[in-house]
Amino acid sequence: MRVQSTVGSPKSAYRFPGFEHMVSTNQVAEHVRSVHAIISRPQRPAGHELVARSWLRCFHELGLDPASEDTQPALQPQAWRERGDKLGEVMDSAVPEMQALHRQLDDPSSALVLADAEGVIVSVVRHPGFAREASLRGLVEGARWSEDLQGTNGIGTVLTERHSLVISREEHFFARHIDMICAGAPIYDGVGEVAAVLAVCSLSPGGARALRALVERSARVIEHRAFRARHATDYLIRFHAHAGRVSTAVEGMLALTPEGEIVEANHTGFELLAPEGETLLGRDVTEFFGQSLPELLSRSYRAGFHPLTLSMPQHQTWHVLAQQPARNRNQSGSRSESASAAQALAELDLGDLRMAGNVHSAMRILDRDIPLLILGETGSGKEVFARAFHSSSQRARGPFVAINCASLPESLIESELFGYKQGAFTGANRDGRRGKVLQADGGTLFLDEIGDMPLQLQARLLRVLEERKVTPLGAENAVPVDLQLVCATHRDLRAMVREGHFREDLYYRLRGMEVTLPPLRERTDRRALIERCLAEENAGRHPPVRIGQAAMQVLDRYRWPGNIRQMRYVLRTLVAMSDGGEITLRDMPAELMEAPEPAAVATGGTSPGAAPGDMPAAPTSNLNPLQSAERDALLAELRRHRWNIAGLARELGVSRNTVYRKMKRLDIDTDTQAGDGY
């Protein structure tokens, strides 16, 4: 069956065999023409195969008309809420991740949606100004976006193909959707089936490739969190062929019985251990890793929860971490005696001695009702540390409520923290509001930038911490509250106490345990941290993007004034914009390539690992080890270009003068070229 066209008037018309009507508007005709050209080619462009298959299904199997304006009403609220409840841990994990992704996208013309396995939208996050437009387009809770009702689209087609994709404008089957870009990614359950779809639908131009990468990453994060929450009472095996991907959102995970039998696996687990679709569930873990569950648990404990390296007879190497249940099955909330209960904290130790000490200190006070105070520069990972502390505690199933004391107007901090009753002040919500402190009941309250809290509120906070009761504004009776307190700041609180800007009694009440996170420029585990962040950004990307040696040297030597937060955004951009499998020097942002070098450190000798015939590193009085590494990297690029400075400058996207300045600063001159034999 083919789509037949006739051109006999200013308007092109397409007739669909089996239909009794014509599609005759210019827009729809051109829409059908463009996609029909794709699906009719013997050799379709890369990336269009899934779209072509979907269009063929819509034409020949589903009998849909691309000009149709027919829509079905959304389900009633009770119906779609019940569907959301059935998603369980997926729904719980998706809501905060969707909110975070929505803030990151910062696109007022987009809607972020979560749909169940039948394509019914159960959650939507969108800009308030886009609510009406989203509603008109059916991007609302209860709307069904399965392929049989909406044609080719970024939700239903993901469900059918079981693969992430972008449906861009005219690739949508129905003409009414052709002004949208929709990027969707599947979220899998523990038996290999698609449980839900995360998608972004946007009217903004461009950015389809980056949009897909962001949605894929968030889908893997949701899937990862949901799997861990679902199997909090089971033994877990976390593994990957690459060490840097263990304990990230792209690791493989197996849930096991106490006897070592696999009961569920995440999507990566299926891909790594059962790539041909063979049976995985019900098999013993020994078949895959050559050791029993007790042996793996014992070795993981002795290794301090660092991944074990296991070499298998089939020349396969696995990096494996075995973990005991985070909670007992009796739901009493009692913890295992094993230190593996603090796994989320242990994951933060990548080899830096100061971070290892911080992790160890935090583990010592878990569930002991001792407040934690986290100090560190902006972007150094204070909230990440706080969330790991929460996830490792008995309160992990309770809420984690974060409030940035520096981001709220002084007049709103009191009502945000302590809440208020109806009519407490002009402009108050008529139903009142529970404050952040009460919202954190049973969980953890994270007060970020506590050093910016006004003095008059510090006394109220101290009273709450002492009495464990909160009195909302306008209320007469105090409400009991049970929470774990974590605070963070980049300020010097001791100096503020001396200067009278911070209450001394509150300071000592907050610093039950104080840890200071080192800035990224001082951490000795930078490369391991870069690899882990890269693995998270690679989530769902096939093949994953790698970092070349020269590019890694640039990333490793950079001073990172914005710390880990800046590094994550740089890596996210590099991965999203990468066309190949490896990030090279020419992909590096100019600010990294042109950054001033760290202060020189006197060393002796030549650069380690130099091969015979290589030029020695520059004199040690001029270059420190990082500069020597950069010199070696630049020399390698110059040799590859046979010392064609103009050609190297074009590849790097910089001027020839920039290359010459780099050469001069790194003591590379024509004598070096002569030594290379050119």
pLDDT one-digit tens code per residue, 225-271: 899 889 888 899 999 999 888 888 889 999 999 889 999 999 999 99
State whether 585 and 499 are in the same domain.
no
Give 92-112 pLDDT, tens digit per residue: 888 888 888 888 887 888 889
* Domain-embedded: residue 217: no
pLDDT value of residue 35:
60
One-character DSSP codes across 297-327: HHHHHHTTTPPEEEE-TTS-EEEEEEE--SS
The dihedral through the CA atoms of 99, 105, 106, 111 has a sign that is: negative
Tell me the CA end-to-end span of the chain in Å, nearest whole number. Answer: 64
Return the CATH number at 623. 1.10.8.60
CB burial string 612-624: b at 16+ within 10 A, e below: eebbebbebeebb
- Report the percent of the chain where pLDDT is more than 90: 29
Amino acid residing at 639? R
- 549 and 650 belong to one structural domain: yes
Least reliable range by pLDDT among 32-36, 283-287, 632-636: 32-36
* CATH number of the domain residue 458 falls in: 3.40.50.300
Cβ atoms within 10 A of the Cβ of 397, count? 16
Residue 632's domain spans which residues? 526-675
d(CA 560, CA 572): 15
Residue at 353 is within a domain: yes
- Structural domain total, the chain: 3
Quote the pLDDT of residue 612.
31
pLDDT at 76 over 60: yes
Do 497 and 355 share a structural domain?
yes
Residue 122, domain member (yes or no): no
Q: Looking at residue 4, what is its pLDDT?
A: 39
The pLDDT-based confidence of 8 (bands split at 50, 70, 90) is very low
Residue 500 and residue 550 in one domain:
no
456 with 569, same domain: the answer is no
| Average pLDDT over all residues of the chain | 79
Interval 567-618: pLDDT, tens: 999 999 998 888 767 888 888 888 888 766 554 333 333 333 333 333 333 3
Tell me what pLDDT residue 365 has: 87
Domain end position, chosen among 516, 536, 551 = 516
Q: Do 379 and 454 belong to one domain? A: yes
Residue 364 shares a structural domain with residue 482 = yes
Structural contact between residues 419 and 470, judged by C-beta atoms closer than 8 angstroms: yes
Q: Final residue of a domain: which of 483, 516, 549?
A: 516
Residues 17 and 1: their CA atoms lie apart, in Å, by: 7
Examine the pLDDT at 629 and tell me if it is beyond 80: no
* 423-451 pLDDT, tens digit each: 555 555 555 677 888 888 899 999 999 99
Tens of pLDDT along 501-559? Answer: 999 999 999 988 999 999 999 998 888 899 888 888 887 677 788 898 888 989 988 99
Which pTM was predicted? 0.52
The answer to the question of residue 297 being in a domain is yes
Q: Please check whether residue 12 is in contact with residue 5, taking contact to mean a CB–CB distance below 8 angstroms.
A: yes
How many angstroms separate the most distant Cα atoms in the chain? 87
Domain membership flag for residue 199? no
Same-domain status, 533 and 495: no
Using DSSP, state whether 440 is helix, strand or coil: coil
Is there a domain that residue 116 lies in? no
Residue 239 φ then ψ, to 5°:
-155, 165
In a domain, 59, yes or no: no
CA-to-CA dists, residue 280 to 262, 283, 317, angstroms: 7, 6, 19
In this structure, the answer to whether residues 311 and 244 fall within a common structural domain is: yes
82-86, 373-377, 532-536, 656-660: least confident range: 656-660
- Residues β-bridged to residue 284: 261
110 three-state secondary structure: strand
Reported as a single tens digit per residue, the pLDDT across 449-483 is 999 988 888 888 898 888 888 888 767 778 888 99
Tell me: do 619 and 471 sit in the same domain: no
Confidence at residue 625, expressed as pLDDT on a 0 to 100 scale: 57
**Considering 471, 489, 516, which residue would you say is the last residue of a domain?**
516
Backbone phi, psi, residue 402, to 5°: -110, 140
pLDDT of residue 615: 34
